[in-house]
Amino acid sequence: MEERYQLNKELAQMLKGGVIMDVTTPEQAVIAQEAGACAVMALERIPADIRAAGGVSRMSDPAMIRSIQEAVTIPVMAKCRIGHFVEAQILEAIEIDYIDESEVLSPADDVYHVDKRQFKVPFVCGARDLGEALRRIAEGASMIRTKGEPGTGDIVQAVRHMRMMNSQIRHAVSLSEDELYEEAKKLQVPYDLLKQVHDSGRLPVVNFAAGGVATPADAALMMQLGAEGVFVGSGIFKSGDPVKRASAIVQAVTNYTDAKLIAELSSGLGEAMVGINEQEIKLIMEERGK
Residues serving a catalytic function are 79
The CA distance from 39 to 229, in Å, is 11
240 φψ region: left (φ > 0), alpha (ψ -120 to 50), beta (else): alpha
The CA distance from 112 to 95, in Å, is 24
The CA distance from 252 to 237, in Å, is 17
The CA distance from 116 to 142, in Å, is 9
Contact between 37 and 250 (Cβ < 8 Å): yes
Residue 36 identity (one-letter amino acid): G
The CA distance from 9 to 268, in Å, is 38
Compute the C-alpha angle 75/273/257, nearest 5°: 65
Please provide residue 146's backbone torsions phi and psi, each rounded to the nearest 5 degrees.
-65, 155
| H or E stretch covering 123 | strand 123-127
